[in-house]
DNA sequence: TTGTACGCGTTATCAA
DNA sequence: TTGATAACGCGTACAA
């Protein structure tokens, strides 16, 4: 079928088929006009030699790589892989490949990734990384790389953005809780360096409590199930109640399991709410009440916006996803919608 | 196509700095010798013009793209994203970018992805996809693309593979269960088209039972928490006991929750075991007994093997990861290790 | 130390 | 319908 030596080039195909390489190119791209017989001759030699055009050379010649750069934190979270998955789906549909640029928690590294994205000659980029601010995004766009940003408000000719809105839902929840006679003290679990979504929620949590004149608490915890579970096993030895607002399902489950394993009843003694809910909120017992944004859908939307941007017909450069309260059994007085996690 | 604003090229930098483009190239790659002053002059112009070398052109010229192709199913599973994450970590360390080729359940699509990998001119590939068999892998390797395959036995000059071993652990578990006086009927949950790992486990399950002369059951179910949960809510109306072996945590949790929500006790009435365990096995109550392979580690190992392959010094072309029984509270007579999910 | 010229594998523009 | 030939942006022997 093929020699294990060098790559078969278009030139070798041309030579073997006894035509010019221009003709081969026409056959490959089904462009221009070629005699059916020459076409067949060329196609046969292509098959015989096992020739595959080099995407690299094609991209260089056409200035189109059909490749999208994706910048995401390497943190192994379900909701991140949900976003990635949504992007993947639409990208496949539209014929784009994805080049992954995974960042750690360091901003320096994130900047490096931006440089790589620019160098990599991708047709566009989707960025979902807290380390990067509007300035960084503008920079990448200034290099003529159409970009869609997730969870950061940036606008521009070649920029689209998708925003999350947890604010309304969270504020409503807190108010509803107290208006329905909630008496447990509300506790916000602070995770260091967990991104702007959480710190923003925390600010809102505090602001709302101040407005209502209610007491609250903020507790530091690790972004790890095991450690948070251990921490709260200790915690519940002296504290026997509370309403805990947690970053994501794992953390919420840690608090909840620590509570039940300490002989407390959820939600009678302890109530728990997860901010970034995933399908795993459904497998705990009790099921977790959580805020939900369909992050798979967010990924799809991001990729759609990007293709529109690439085609020059994106009209609405900004989209918003509102968090929906998905009611589980880990809270008492929250009313919310049912969310289908398929 | 429309003309976009032109990219700053090495040639423009050379012209602006008053040197030849070879000199600029030397500065970029820190190769050859350049006078400190010329170097500074060039570096300044680079900064002033905001020049970024084109990875495409570099790759074409050097025949190295510093890019690895990754073929994985698009199914949004935790264990897949764990593998991807492991690959990502090491790739970042070694200075490689990843190009993602996501496949659906169709074999046809998987083949297409193989073609794309070959075309994309990547330096190497990591493949984790059940749709692809040894022949497909050999094909990609015949195009001189060093490849590491996960969960498929393939050998070759430019090929490495990582195998999973669930067999020993599963067979031992089954035998142990009966030898310790297990009386519940064992039930294997068959999921259609869920890949060779599961179908292999199923065969082994049946074989072991036949050898022991024990009765067993196989039940079809969907690879979805919600549907399996509903199915078993129905099931437990008439069946009040059993030992269920499930594909992954979501499915196992569905069966377990359906059992407890039907008033059954786990593990007294119903025992549940998850084959592909993840950290989510720890957040259910009772905690799930599961088989565990550190898939993050698998991803890392795959990438390590690939870099060795690329450097021509891979000695052991084949690696094996044994499943470890991680004991939870969803079974009675299983002994196993503690697994740290960090 | 620096510059010239060619190659990498395509596409695209002309003539023929 | 075909075939030279010039880009595309860069690396690199080789020469100066």
On the question of pLDDT at B69 being above 80, the answer is yes
Average the pLDDT over each of A27-36, A94-103, A317-326, B168-177 and give the range with the smallest value: A27-36
Q: What is the 3-state secondary structure (H, E, C) of B40-90?
A: HHHHHHHHHHCCCCCHHHHHHHHCCCCEEEEEEECCCCHHHHHHHHHHHHH
On the question of pLDDT at B209 being above 90, the answer is yes
Q: What is the pLDDT of residue B337?
A: 61
Please indicate whether, in this complex, the C-beta atoms of B54 and A121 are within 8 angstroms of each other: yes
Mean pLDDT computed over B273-283? 95
On the question of pLDDT at A283 being above 60, the answer is yes
- The terminus-to-terminus CA distance of chain B in angstroms comes to 51
pLDDT class of B5 with cuts at 50, 70, 90: low
Contact (CB, 8 A) for A138 and A154:
yes
CA A310 to C1' C7, in angstroms, rounded, equals 32
pLDDT class of B311 with cuts at 50, 70, 90: very high
Q: Which residues of A touch B100 (CB under 8 A)?
A: 88, 97-100
Q: What is the pLDDT of residue B244?
A: 98
Q: What is the pLDDT of residue A86?
A: 97
How far apart CA B265 and CA B286 sit, in angstroms, is: 10
pLDDT in tens, B256-268: 999 999 999 999 9
Contact (CB, 8 A) for A288 and A131:
no
**Measured at the alpha carbon of residue B104, what is the angle toward residues B98 and B110, in degrees to the nearest 5?**
70
Q: Which of B82, B88, B285 sits opposite A102 (nearest CB)?
A: B88
Average the pLDDT over each of A137-141, B159-163, B240-244 and give the range with the smallest value: A137-141
pLDDT in tens, A197-253: 999 999 999 999 999 999 999 999 999 999 999 999 999 999 999 999 999 999 999
**% of chain B residues with pLDDT over 70:** 96
Q: What is the pLDDT of residue A211?
A: 96
Q: Which of B313, B314, B336, B288 lies closest to B172 in space, CA to CA?
A: B336
On the question of pLDDT at A327 being above 50, the answer is yes
Mean pLDDT across chain A: 92
Q: What is the pLDDT of residue B105?
A: 79
Q: What is the pLDDT of residue A208?
A: 97
Q: Which residues of A touch B85 (CB under 8 A)?
A: 74, 76
Please indicate whether, in this complex, the C-beta atoms of B142 and A4 are within 8 angstroms of each other: yes
Mean pLDDT computed over B25-35? 89
The residue among B28, B76, B278 with the most chain A CBs within 10 A of its CB, best to mutate, is B76
Q: What is the pLDDT of residue A330?
A: 97
- Name the phi and psi angles at A25, rounded to 5: -60, -40
Q: What is the pLDDT of residue A2?
A: 38
Q: Tell me the three state secondary structure of residue B171.
A: helix
On the question of pLDDT at B2 being above 50, the answer is no
Q: What is the pLDDT of residue A336?
A: 60
Strand C lies under 7 A from the Cβ of residue A7: yes
Contact (CB, 8 A) for A195 and A164:
no
On the question of pLDDT at A4 being above 50, the answer is no
Give the burial string for A195-232 (b: 16+ CB within 10 Å, else e): beebeebbebbeebbeeeeeebeebebebbbeebbebb
Q: What is the pLDDT of residue B336?
A: 60
pLDDT class of A139 with cuts at 50, 70, 90: confident
* Strand D nearby residues, CB < 7 A: A 18-23, 26, 32-35, 37-38, 57, 60-61, 63; B 6-7, 9-11, 21-22, 25-26, 28-29, 31, 51-54, 56-58, 60-62
How far apart CA A142 and CA A35 sit, in angstroms, is: 45
How far apart CA A256 and CA A265 sit, in angstroms, is: 9
Q: Can you give the pTM of this predicted structure?
A: 0.94
Reading the block at residue B32, the tokens are 């050859």
On the question of pLDDT at B206 being above 80, the answer is yes
Mean pLDDT computed over B121-143? 92
What residues form DSSP beta bridges with A319? A162
pLDDT in tens, A35-55: 999 999 999 999 999 999 999
Q: What is the pLDDT of residue A6?
A: 67
- Name the phi and psi angles at A56, rounded to 5: -60, -55
On the question of pLDDT at B3 being above 70, the answer is no
Query: Given its phi and psi angles, is residue A33 left (phi above 0), alpha (psi -120 to 50 degrees) or beta?
Result: beta
Mean pLDDT computed over A322-342? 79
Q: What is the pLDDT of residue B6?
A: 66
**% of chain B residues with pLDDT over 90:** 84
**% of chain A residues with pLDDT over 70:** 96
On the question of pLDDT at A5 being above 80, the answer is no
pLDDT in tens, A249-274: 999 999 999 999 999 999 999 999 99
Q: What secondary structure letter does DSSP report for B277?
A: -
pLDDT in tens, A67-91: 999 999 987 888 999 999 999 999 9
Mean pLDDT across chain B: 92
């Amino acid at each position: 079928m093929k020699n294990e030596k060098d790559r078969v080039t278009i030139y070798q195909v041309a030579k073997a088929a006894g035509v010019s390489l221009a003709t081969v190119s026409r056959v490959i791209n089904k462009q221009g006009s070629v005699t059916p017989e020459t076409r067949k001759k060329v196609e046969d030699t292509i098959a015989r030699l096992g020739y595959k055009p080099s995407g690299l050379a094609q991209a260089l010649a056409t200035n189109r790589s059909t490749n999208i750069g994706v910048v995401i934190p390497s943190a192994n979270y379900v909701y991140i892989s949900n976003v990635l998955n949504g992007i993947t789906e639409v990208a496949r549909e539209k014929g784009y490949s994805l080049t992954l640029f995974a960042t750690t928690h360091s901003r320096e590294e994130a900047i490096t990734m931006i440089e790589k994205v620019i160098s990599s000659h991708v047709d566009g980029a989707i960025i979902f990384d807290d380390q990067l601010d509007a300035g960084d995004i503008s920079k990448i766009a200034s290099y003529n790389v159409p970009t869609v940003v997730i969870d950061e408000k940036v606008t521009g000719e070649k920029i689209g953005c998708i925003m999350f809105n947890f604010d309304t839902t969270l504020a409503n929840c807190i108010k509803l809780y107290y208006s329905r006679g909630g008496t447990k003290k509300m506790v916000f679990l602070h995770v260091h360096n967990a991104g702007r979504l959480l710190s923003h929620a925390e600010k809102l949590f505090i602001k709302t409590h101040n407005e209502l004149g209610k007491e609250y608490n903020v507790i530091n915890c690790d972004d790890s199930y095991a450690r948070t579970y251990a921490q709260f096993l200790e915690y519940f030895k002296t504290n026997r109640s509370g309403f805990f607002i947690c970053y994501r399902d794992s953390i919420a489950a840690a608090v909840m399991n620590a509570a039940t394993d300490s002989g407390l009843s959820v939600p009678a003694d302890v109530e728990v709410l997860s901010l970034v809910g995933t399908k795993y909120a459904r497998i705990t017992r009790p099921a977790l009440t959580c805020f939900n944004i369909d992050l798979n859908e967010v990924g799809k939307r991001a990729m759609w916006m990007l293709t529109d941007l690439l085609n020059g017909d994106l009209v609405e450069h900004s989209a918003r996803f509102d968090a929906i309260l998905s009611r589980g059994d880990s809270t008492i007085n929250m009313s919310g919608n049912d969310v289908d996690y398929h």
